[in-house]
């Protein structure tokens, strides 16, 4: 049995870091283990201009703990009227690594997102021409669509026409949750379509949200799906297929905002994501493929080199705290908080000082 596994340092290709005190609190959990992260732009107001992204990147870099080597990769929040030249300039100047498309109303802070794909055709033309990737929150916002079907409907109504109309556009289907999404990505052989997968969608099915009561800390978007989908995600993630790579979608919300009559969507998994992925790969008998998923496939898709240094995971029980404290007395509940997970990152990062 493998008890110690050393892989190239992983990257997180889908991450929410927020800003201010929350940024300072959550960032060390990522920067201690990951070399790079694709940082989501859904702040309020959204990160939609080159100048906003440059300033946000500077705030992130200023919050990286001494001794961590971490590179945030910035994304542009796509609005109906984003000028293509803003994207082009941000890309040329090395500020924007990619563009994030939220269908308007699909999720947290998506109200400035895209209301109609026709409106962003000029931006997509430009991105296709300059090789700038599009990152998709792939859920239909049609209120008539069942919440558990939103991803599958998006694939048919939005993704397929997009892939047809922009045949050279690089696209990442973020946080895939269904067998249908896995199949769409697998059936593309052009090399321009990839997908990220979160730890929660690999470890849990939708029953987790309703076990002996309602469990708001299992609520994220896209919502957890039924078991057959989870099994399909495990299959593609652990297969070594280069089109699938690690993206945690770690999305911190203060505990009180989740434990509420109208709780926020998002799971703060940065502290336990790697232990969770290792658990999944171990259970699938595929620990030897963890490095491809976590550290190689993502850089390859984005045309970057893998990280030079390494990260070691140890099979040893890790008690996960129930809370991560925020300045001022609030707290965030981490994914798997209050339980013991079978893997840990070595050396363990000391708890953030607060």
Site residues (CB under 6 A) for ligand DOR?
Answer: 16, 42, 107-108, 137, 220-221, 251, 265-266
CB 246 within 8 A of CB 12: yes
Give the CA distances from residue 205 to residues 26, 208, 210, 238, 278, in Å, rounded to whole numbers and listed in that order: 26, 6, 10, 17, 18
Closest-by-Cβ residue to Zn ion is 249
Tokens of 253: 């919300």
Binds 220: which of ligand DOR, Zn ion, none (CB < 5-8 Å by kind) = ligand DOR
CB within 8 A of 127, min separation 6: which ones? 84, 87, 99, 133, 134, 169
Binds 265: which of ligand DOR, Zn ion, none (CB < 5-8 Å by kind) = ligand DOR
249 is catalytic: yes
Secondary element (H or E) of residue 36: strand 36-39
Secondary element (H or E) of residue 233: helix 227-237
Kindly tell me which of 49 and 248 has the beta carbon lying closer to ligand DOR: 248
Residue 27: CB minimum distance to Zn ion, A = 16
Residue 129: CB minimum distance to ligand DOR, A = 28
Secondary element (H or E) of residue 318: strand 310-319
Residue in 85, 249, 282, 309 annotated catalytic? 249
Residue 189: CB minimum distance to Zn ion, A = 27
Rule CB under 5 A: which of 219-258 touch Zn ion? 249
Kindly tell me which of 265 and 284 has the beta carbon lying closer to Zn ion: 265
Kindly tell me which of 32 and 266 has the beta carbon lying closer to ligand DOR: 266
DSSP state of 267: B
Residue 329: CB minimum distance to ligand DOR, A = 21
Kindly tell me which of 180 and 249 has the beta carbon lying closer to Zn ion: 249
Binds 331: which of ligand DOR, Zn ion, none (CB < 5-8 Å by kind) = none
Give 177-221 as a DSSP string.
-SHHHHHHHHT--SS-EEEEE-HHHHH--GGGGGTTS--GGG--S
Tokens of 230: 């989870």
Secondary element (H or E) of residue 245: strand 244-246
Closest-by-Cβ residue to ligand DOR is 266
Residue 40: CB minimum distance to ligand DOR, A = 6
**Residues designated as active site:** 249
Residues that bind Zn ion (CB under 5 A): 249
């Amino acid at each position: 049995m493998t008890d110690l596994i050393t892989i190239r340092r992983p990257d997180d290709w889908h991450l929410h870091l927020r800003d201010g005190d929350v940024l300072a609190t959550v960032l060390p959990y990522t920067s201690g283990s990951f070399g790079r992260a694709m940082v989501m732009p859904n702040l309020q107001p959204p990160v939609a201009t080159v100048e906003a992204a440059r300033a946000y990147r500077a705030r992130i870099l200023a919050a990286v703990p001494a001794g961590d080597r971490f590179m945030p990769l910035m994304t542009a929040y796509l609005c109906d009227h984003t000028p293509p030249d803003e994207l082009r300039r941000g890309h040329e100047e090395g500020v924007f690594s990619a563009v994030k498309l939220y269908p308007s109303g699909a999720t947290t802070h998506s109200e400035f997102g895209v209301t109609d794909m026709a409106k962003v055709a000029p931006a997509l033309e430009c991105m296709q021409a300059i090789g700038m990737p599009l990152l998709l929150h792939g859920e239909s916002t049609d209120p008539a669509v069942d919440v558990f079907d939103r991803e599958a409907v998006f694939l048919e109504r939005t993704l397929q026409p997009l892939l047809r109309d922009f045949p050279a556009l690089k696209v990442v289907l973020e946080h895939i949750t269904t067998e249908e999404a896995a199949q769409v990505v697998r059936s593309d052989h052009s090399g321009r379509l990839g997908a990220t997968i979160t730890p929660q969608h690999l470890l849990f099915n939708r029953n987790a949200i309703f076990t002996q009561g309602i469990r708001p800390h299992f609520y994220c978007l896209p919502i957890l799906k039924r078991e057959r989908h989870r099994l399909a995600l495990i299959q593609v993630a652990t297969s070594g297929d280069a089109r699938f790579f690690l993206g945690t979608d770690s999305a911190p919300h203060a505990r009180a905002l989740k434990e509420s009559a109208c709780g926020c969507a998002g799971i703060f998994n940065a502290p336990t994501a790697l232990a969770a992925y290792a658990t999944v790969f171990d259970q699938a008998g595929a620990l030897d493929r963890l490095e491809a998923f976590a550290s190689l496939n993502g850089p390859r898709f984005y045309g970057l080199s893998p990280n030079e240094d390494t990260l070691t995971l140890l099979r040893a029980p890790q008690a996960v705290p129930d809370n991560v404290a925020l300045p001022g007395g609030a707290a965030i509940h981490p994914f798997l908080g209050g339980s013991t997970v079978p893997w840990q990152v070595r050396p363990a990062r000391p708890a953030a000082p607060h």
